[in-house]
Amino acid sequence: MTTAAAMRAEAADLLSEAPGVGLPFEDDAHRRWIEYRPRPRPGVSLGALDPAGRKAAHRLLATGLREHAFAQATVILALEEVLDRREGYRRGRHSNDYTVVVFGTPGPGERWGWRFEGHHLSVTMTLDGDAVSPAPVFLGANPLGTYYGDRPVVRPLAPEEDLGWAVLAAVPQQLLHQVVLQETAPPDIHSGPAAAIRKVPPGIAAGELPDPARRLLDELVAVYLDRLPADVAPAVDRDRLTFAWEGATERTGRHYYRVQGPDLLIEYDNTADDLNHAHTVLRRPDSDFGADILADHRADWHH
């Protein structure tokens, strides 16, 4: 079964279990949306669904992520309970405070989409028939890791963090000035909780990086693209990518990196006071929220 077919089946099952999760596809104000902070958001929360509805929502989420990324997402949900405990239960955070919404009718040949979102998690998929446009995909973690002594118990974003540092460490000293653009890290990823993406300096071109830095950069990009099913992940011209860093160049300080290329933006930040709070995002500046496949659809319709 293709990913598009699996999404249609699971979304239809979710709508049968919980019709209230549906909104019109034309509702752009709610469809073109990313909000990874604990804020009100469109959709129905997992807590408002019965067990069958919650399971259907999780199954829909699973269609858009490969198994390891689905594991990352479910750990992020669980960490909401850990964060609530750390905060003395003052804010009432809980792992059912995540919403699911289906836009339009999930049928063959239809334009429709879905989103699963809450604190530190936002996965949006847009479909036009069998074409799937997979972005934005945001995964964050607070805490970034939990430990038994110095041994990690849970580190859901370990590949994204460790490979970022590995790329930086492999950059020759004489090229660091092209990579490290600022000594101070931004307070959050530059794209932020908004549909629009700000333009920022690109950093060093991938082709200027010698091995092993270039090879490690390819591995880092693969970590983000491999969140997605193989028949959904976008093709990327890795020779046209750039890598940039902002902030500390030692793990003791706040830090941020991004990878940019044609219709690709990857960002990572770990800038909280305790360096235990990270954000990562995979976005497609020209194709977020299905802009690519919907443009093709409109062109075909006019033709």
Residue 10 belongs to some domain of the structure:
yes
Residue 140: which of 85, 80, 180 has the closest Cα? 80
Identify the residue whose tokens are 């090229």.
175
What is the spatial distance between Cα 110 and Cα 80, in angstroms, rounded to a whole number?
35
Is it the case that residue 273 has pLDDT exceeding 90? no
Same-domain status, 112 and 172: no
Q: Which domain holds residue 182?
A: 157-286
**Residue 113 and residue 222 in one domain:** no
Categorize the per-residue pLDDT at 301 as very low, low, confident or very high, splitting at 50, 70 and 90. Answer: very low
Burial 238-271 (b: 16+ CB within 10 A, else e): beebbbbbbbbeeeeebbbbbbbbebbbbbbbbb
Residue 273 belongs to some domain of the structure: yes
Domain count, the chain: 2
Residue 195 pLDDT grade (very low, low, confident, very high; cuts 50, 70, 90) = confident
pLDDT of res. 297: 53
Instruction: Note whether 293 and 301 are within 8 A (CB).
Output: no
> In sequence order, what are the beta bridge partners of 152?
147
CA pair distance 283, 288, nearest whole angstrom? 6
The amino acid occupying position 177 is H
Give burial (CB, 10 Å; 0-12/13-18/19+) of 175: middle
* pLDDT number for residue 300: 47
Residue 145 inside a domain? The answer is no
Helices 51-63, 3-17: inter-axial angle, 10-degree rounding: 160
Do 166 and 278 fall into the same domain? Answer: yes
Q: What is the mean pLDDT of residues 13-28?
A: 98
Average pLDDT over all residues of the chain: 95
Residues 170 and 66 in one domain: no
Q: 11: pLDDT confidence band, cut at 50, 70 and 90?
A: very high
Domain assignment present for 147: no
Report the share of the chain in percent with pLDDT over 70: 97
d(CA 113, CA 124): 7
pLDDT at 303 over 90: no
What integer is the mean pLDDT of 34-61? 97
- What integer pLDDT is reported at residue 272 of this predicted model? 87
Last residue of a domain, one of 65, 100, 135: 135
Residue 260: pLDDT over 70: yes
**C-alpha distances in angstroms, 194 versus 4, 6, 22, 31, 53?**
26, 29, 22, 12, 28
Mark whether 125 and 204 lie in a shared domain: no
Q: Which stretches does DSSP call E strand in 119-176? A: 121-128, 131-133, 137-141, 146-148, 151-154
**235/126 same-domain check:** no
Name 85's Cβ contacts closer than 8 Å, sequence gap at least 6: none
Question: Who contacts 278 (Cβ-Cβ below 8 Å, separation ≥6)?
Answer: 140, 141, 142, 144, 157, 160, 161, 268, 269, 270
pLDDT value at residue 296:
58
CA 77 – CA 139 distance, rounded (Å): 10
The percentage of residues in the chain with a pLDDT greater than 90, rounded to a whole number, is 94
**Whether 273 contacts 189, CB under 8 Å:** no
